[in-house]
Structure 1
Amino acid sequence: MESENGILQCEMWKRLGLSSREGSRLAQRLEEKGEIERDRVLYEGRWTYKLNSKRRHVSLASIKDSPCLRCDDIDRCFEGGERSPISCEYLTRWIMENSGERRRG
């Protein structure tokens, strides 16, 4: 049982070829490192954990209209460079338009 919302810990053990003890230790270490969250769930009459990644997937769709992707100066654009994203009026305008904020005059 795997989904966008995680994988059952018992399924993880099977897929990785681990014993339940090894799988449990691995899940605990990942939780301690802040990589996953473990939620206790009842599955087929037994208690197990559902493992959910704390990493969020970023969609490239969110930046597809960025002016940087079609800028002729992209190779010279960096902090402290000839061009800079910090002072780029095109990037600033795009961020403001896409964040829903309006510049206050």
Structure 2
Amino acid sequence: MSELEEEALGVIQSHREGVLQSDLWKLLDIDSRKCSRIVKRLLDAGLIERIEFRSDGIKTYLLRAKKRAVDPGLILAGEEVLPCIGCDRECDPEGCTILLDWIYLLALEEYQE
């Protein structure tokens, strides 16, 4: 992926509700034709979705980043699931002893491999 494609994807991902293609090329400071080619490559890669949108009678497209499946291994340390999932405590993650114990297990598992 080119640097400009990564930048475009970053802009699209930073707008939860999506960004209009007619605004994207302005945000990236490129011409609309170049933007269309970048959007096409991102669509072909399955990274974004494009929805037809009318703004003041002018047709454009709303671009949204596709959600990617999360690797379940990212929330496991050995057999232990990330404790923050389902936690109802309001705490400071940096000072949470339960989370720190889980991180220790994760580091220990990494060290043993």
Q: Count residues in correspondence.
A: 77
Measured against aligned partners, the alpha-carbon deviations of 1:20-39 in whole angstroms (never above 9, x if no partner) come to 11111111111111110011
Q: Which runs of 5+ in 1 are unaligned?
A: 83-105
Q: Percent identity?
A: 34
Which has more helix, going by share of residues? 2
Q: Which structure has the higher relative contact order (CA within 8 Å, separation 6+)? A: 2
Q: TM-score, normalised by structure 1?
A: 0.57
SS of residue matched to 1:78: helix
Task: Give the structure with higher Rg (CA).
Answer: 1
Q: TM-score, normalised by structure 2?
A: 0.53
The 5 A counterparts of 1:1-105 are: 3-55=15-67, 63=84, 65=87, 69-71=99-101, 74=104, 77-78=108-109, 81=112
1:70 CA drift (Å): 2.8
Letter in 2 for 1:15: L
Q: Which runs of 5+ in 2 are unaligned?
A: 1-13, 71-82, 88-95
- Aligned in 2, Cα 1:71/1:48: closer, same or farther, shift over 3 Å? same
- Aligned in 2, Cα 1:36/1:67: closer, same or farther, shift over 3 Å? farther
